[in-house]
């Protein structure tokens, strides 16, 4: 999958999960709503500075925007949704989530 599509998918998921409108995210990143919309639709790629501003606005590591090798669009959505969900957990709940995911991996093996 193209990096611009993956970036857009992830940006949209993280933004919606945080309950932030495109307008508010554009304000945080000092960009236009059209620029945010174009990013989310995979029509453009942001500069390094914009990636960092978006990551700061969404309180996520910038690396969370990018795909891994061989990642499908469906998997990008699932991974992004999981990352967005766990980012809100307390440390104690995050520890439980890690244990659950580890158990799933052991079951798969």
pLDDT digits (tens, 9 = 90+) for 22-72: 999 999 989 999 999 999 999 998 999 999 999 999 988 898 888 667 777
Give CA 40 to chain center in angstroms: 11
Q: Provide the pLDDT for residue 86.
A: 87
86 versus 76: the higher-pLDDT residue is 86
76: CATH: 1.10.260.40
Evaluated on CA atoms 11, 16, 17, 18, the torsion sign reads: positive
The total of structural domains in the chain comes to 1
Quick one: pLDDT at residue 67?
67
Domain span at residue 22 reads: 3-108
For residues 67 and 108, the model is more confident at 108
Q: What is the mean pLDDT of residues 7-18?
A: 90
- CA distances (Å), origin 107, targets 62, 78, 85, 101, 103: 31, 19, 23, 10, 6
């Amino acid at each position: 999958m193209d990096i611009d599509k993956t970036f857009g998918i992830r940006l949209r998921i993280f933004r919606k999960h945080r309950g932030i409108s495109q307008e508010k995210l554009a304000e945080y990143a000092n960009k236009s709503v059209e620029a945010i919309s174009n990013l989310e639709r995979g029509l453009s790629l942001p500069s390094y500075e914009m990636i960092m501003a978006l990551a700061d606005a969404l309180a996520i590591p910038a690396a969370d925007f990018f795909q891994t090798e061989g990642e499908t669009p469906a998997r990008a959505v699932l991974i992004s949704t999981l990352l967005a969900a766990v980012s809100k957990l307390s440390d104690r709940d995050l520890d439980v989530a890690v244990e659950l995911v580890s158990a799933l991996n052991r079951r798969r093996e």
